[in-house]
Amino acid sequence: KAGVTQTPRYLIKTRGQQVTLSCSPISGHRSVSWYQQTPGQGLQFLFEYFSETQRNKGNFPGRFSGRQFSNSRSEMNVSTLELGDSALYLCASSLGLAGVDETQYFGPGTRLLVL
């Protein structure tokens, strides 16, 4: 079974631009969660989508948004990019709603550099 895939793998943008990242979950998985990883802040939860609805949200500004399609694929959008948005963005899929006992499988990530 194919794993979680993310595109693109690398991206360079300039301040003020916007970016859209894509994540395809493992076949049959209905939940997609997004995380930001930086050396300073570590791994931080952005949000989770399940059945095309945002179910949970971390402490990030409204510039960070996402959506999920009927085939469970998800996109994350960051508007008005700031230098501090440079990070590795990881998505993770799980069979059901990510919860207390649900295993999350991570994709390889998209490395975003904002200049």
Positions that interact with other proteins (CB under 8 A): 4, 33, 35, 42-45, 48, 56-59, 90, 98-101, 103-109
Q: How many Cβ atoms are within 10 Å of 16's Cβ, its own excluded?
A: 10
Is the separation of the CB atoms in 107 and 5 below 8 Å?
yes
Is the separation of the CB atoms in 8 and 19 below 8 Å?
no
For the chain, the first-to-last Cα distance in angstroms comes to: 37
Nearest distance from C-beta of residue 45 to other proteins, angstroms: 4
Considering beta carbons, is residue 42 or 62 the nearer one to other proteins?
42
Nearest distance from C-beta of residue 44 to other proteins, angstroms: 7
Nearest distance from C-beta of residue 66 to other proteins, angstroms: 15
Considering beta carbons, is residue 28 or 70 the nearer one to other proteins?
28
Q: Hey, is 83 helix, strand or coil?
A: helix
- Please give the structure tokens belonging to residue 43: 């791994």
Considering beta carbons, is residue 40 or 70 the nearer one to other proteins?
40
